[in-house]
Chain A
Amino acid sequence: DTEVTQTPKHLVMGMTNKKSLKCEQHMGHRAMYWYKQKAKKPPELMFVYSYEKLSINESVPSRFSPECPNSSLLNLHLHALQPEDSALYLCASSQVEYGETRVNTQYFGPGTRLTVL
């Protein structure tokens, strides 16, 4: 199984809502990533988890809260978002080699299209 799944596919939320994005993989990968992608722009790294521990936080606002409950699941909790947070949110996973994700060949999910009203 080389698939990364993400739910929901689309999400519309108000600025006062609390919602969560979910990501799942069953490839045995121990590194998982969240990216944010605005229209016509490349993906931008938000968070990296390695062995279920947060290893990278790219100065993301606290209204985005990641969680990795186990090695197969990755969540992104959303609260008090702004309209400019509307974007495609991509989850990815990769193997961890030599104790670090040097190679970083990533497998991406299809993304969640988020609209904040």
Chain B
Amino acid sequence: SQQGEEDPQALSIQEGENATMNCSYKTSINNLQWYRQNSGRGLVHLILIRSNEREKHSGRLRVTLDTSKKSSSLLITASRAADTASYFCFTNYGGSQGNLIFGKGTKLSVKP
């Protein structure tokens, strides 16, 4: 069953604007990660937030985690055309290598 649910499914913004994507999950997790995928290519790891962390920054990326609501958000500030891609949250729950699930993803389009 799908663990992560993302919204919106698609997001279209202008360059320079901020983009916010949300992810909800169903059970307790060890950590939550965000990945980016350019069209038809491999995924690139963006950022990881552990279950005992509430916020994390990396460059123009800001990730929050609310374990009480079982949700996370990814904020991309000052977006660029090169940020156009699909963004997936990824959860790892349980004590083993199993239970590795990607959310449905948000397709972000940044117009120049």
Residues of A within 8 A of B (CB): 4, 31, 33, 41-45, 48, 50, 55-56, 88, 90, 92, 100-111, 113
Contacts and interface: CB of A to CB of B under 8 A. Distances in A.
B42 A111 contact: yes
B92 A110 contact: no
A101 B100 CA distance: 10
B28 to A, nearest CB: 13
Contacts of A55: 96-98
15 contacts: A42-B88, A42-B104, A43-B43, A43-B102, A45-B100, A50-B97, A55-B97, A88-B40, A100-B96, A103-B30, A103-B48, A106-B43, A106-B45, A108-B35, A113-B40
Interface of B: 2, 4, 30-31, 33, 35, 40-45, 48, 88, 90, 92, 95-98, 100-105
A45 B84 CA distance: 25
Contact of A102 (B40, B45, B92): B92
Given A43-B102, A101-B97, A102-B92, 10 more contacts: A4-B42, A42-B102, A43-B88, A48-B97, A102-B95, A103-B92, A104-B90, A104-B100, A106-B43, A111-B40
A110 B100 contact: no
A109 to B, nearest CB: 5
Q: Is the interface of A mostly helix, strand, loop or mixed?
A: strand
A104 B98 contact: no
A75 B83 CA distance: 32
B99 to A, nearest CB: 9
